[in-house]
Homo-oligomer: A and B are copies of this chain.
Amino acid sequence: MQLAKVIGDVVVTRKDDNLTGITLLVLQPIAADGTPSGRTLVAVDAAGAGVGETVFFVRGKEASFPWHPTPVPADAGVVGIVDHWDLG
C-alpha cells in the first residue's frame, strides 16, 4: 500500500454498472517523508475519505475486496484514513 493525499474527485456518468454509487477519488501518492511520490491516480473509496485527507490505498484486485462478491472493476482503492505515521 502507499500513503496518499486526496486531491480531487472524478464525475463519470457512463460507466460499468458495478461502479454505480462508488466514489472515485484523485490521489497523489506521498513518500514516508510526506512529499509527492509518483503519478496521480484514480481510486475507489471504501473509507469515506474527503479532499485534503491523508489516506492509504491498495493497488490491484484487492481494491475491490470491500465490495466482495460484486466484481467491481477497480485496481486502486482507499482502504484507510491515516491518523499519523511514525518513522523509527
Interface digits, A65-86 against B, CB 8 Å rule (1 contact, 0 not)?
A: 1101001111111011111111
Chain A: interface size category:
35 or more
Residues of B within 8 A of A80 (CB): 12, 14-16, 19
For residues 42 through 88 of chain A, which have their beta carbon under 8 Å from a beta carbon of chain B? Answer: 42-44, 46-48, 51-52, 56, 58-66, 68, 71-77, 79-88
Q: Which residues of B contact A44 (CB under 8 A)?
A: 1
Of the candidates B32, B39, B88, the one whose C-beta lies within 8 Å of that of A31 is B39
**Whose C-beta in chain B lies nearest to the C-beta of A68?**
B71
Q: Whose C-beta in chain B lies nearest to the C-beta of A29?
A: B39
Beyond A15-B79, A58-B73, 7 extra complex contacts between A and B, CB < 8 Å:
A1-B74, A1-B75, A3-B10, A11-B84, A16-B66, A60-B60, A65-B72
